[in-house]
């Protein structure tokens, strides 16, 4: 089974993808994580991606498509994938059709102010990438590996609101694109984490 998670930045796609991916034995593929790894490594792709991400803009389609095409060839992707952060445009979705058949699309619905509050409270481990929230985790150390927690450079209100605007302009049309195929399930992205994950698993089991 190949599943896409849609939802504005900060809607919880990553958190849900990890939990649902483990439950359903699907490879979790996050373009955000892949790009951040490239940026941390200082590669040419990383430098290019950073110039767009720091402005709250989307990385060009062809860059993402080429990267995803290679990732989908990996052994762990052969049993099914859960795509988090890709596709982000209709052009990417059309290119994805040539790479893999999509069985379901989960659309997380969250208001922009909720997202702003979440992102401003978000802290990320600079060692293992684990995400924490100051609302539930008071330490400045990672609860998973003990590494230092940092605030991403693009985790500020101005950039978050710009990313939301870009999402609505360029990514929201994907909902219509996949709705025409009868693949979209809308999910309240403000539910408690465990409840939301369980609900999504049940939805996907019916596909």
* Rounded distance between C-alpha atoms, residue 58 and residue 193, angstroms: 27
Task: Say if residue 12 carries a ligand binding annotation.
Answer: yes
Task: Say if residue 191 carries a ligand binding annotation.
Answer: yes
Task: Say if residue 128 carries a ligand binding annotation.
Answer: yes
Which run of H or E residues covers position 159? helix 157-166
Task: Say if residue 164 carries a ligand binding annotation.
Answer: no
Q: Which of 19, 50, 88, 123 is catalytic?
A: 88
CB neighbourhood size of 77 (10 A): 16
Task: Say if residue 142 carries a ligand binding annotation.
Answer: yes
Task: Say if residue 48 carries a ligand binding annotation.
Answer: no
82 within 8 A of 23, measured Cβ to Cβ: no
- DSSP state string for 90-132: HHHHHHHTTT----EEEEEE--HHHHHHHHHTEEEETTT--EE
* Rounded distance between C-alpha atoms, residue 160 and residue 104, angstroms: 27
| Active-site residue, 122 included | yes
Q: Which of 13, 19, 50, 123 is catalytic?
A: 13
Task: Say if residue 88 carries a ligand binding annotation.
Answer: yes
Q: Which of 71, 118, 122, 123 is catalytic?
A: 122
| Active-site residue, 181 included | no
Task: Say if residue 133 carries a ligand binding annotation.
Answer: no
Percentages of the chain per state (helix, strand, coil), in multiples of 5 = 45, 15, 35
Task: Say if residue 92 carries a ligand binding annotation.
Answer: yes
* Rounded distance between C-alpha atoms, residue 113 and residue 157, angstroms: 10
Task: Say if residue 36 carries a ligand binding annotation.
Answer: yes
| Active-site residue, 13 included | yes
Give binding residues as ranges. Answer: 10-15, 31, 36, 57-59, 85-88, 92, 122, 125, 128, 142, 145, 152, 163, 191
**Known catalytic residues?**
13, 88, 122, 152, 163
- In the annotated binding site for AMP, the residues are 31, 36, 57-59, 85-88, 92, 152, 163
Binding residues for ATP: 10-15, 122, 191
């Amino acid at each position: 089974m190949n599943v896409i998670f849609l939802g504005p930045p900060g809607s919880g796609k990553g958190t849900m993808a990890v939990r649902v991916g483990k439950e359903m034995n699907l490879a979790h593929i996050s373009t955000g994580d892949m790009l951040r790894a490239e940026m941390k490594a200082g590669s040419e792709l990383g430098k290019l991606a950073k110039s767009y991400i720091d402005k709250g803009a989307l990385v060009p389609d062809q860059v993402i498509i080429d990267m995803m095409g290679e990732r989908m060839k990996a052994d762990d992707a052969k049993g099914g994938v859960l795509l988090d952060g890709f596709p982000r445009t209709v052009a990417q979705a059309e290119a994805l059709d040539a790479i893999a058949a999509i069985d379901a699309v989960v659309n997380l619905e969250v208001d922009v102010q909720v997202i702003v509050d979440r992102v401003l409270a978000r802290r990320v481990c600079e060692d293992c990438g684990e995400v924490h929230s100051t609302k539930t985790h008071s330490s400045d150390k990672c609860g998973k590996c003990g590494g230092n927690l940092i605030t991403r450079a693009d985790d500020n209100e101005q950039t978050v609101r710009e990313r939301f605007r870009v999402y609505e302009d360029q990514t929201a049309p994907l909902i219509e694109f996949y709705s025409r195929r009868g693949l979209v399930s809308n999910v309240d992205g403000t539910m408690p984490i465990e409840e939301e994950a369980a609900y999504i698993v049940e939805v996907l089991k019916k596909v």
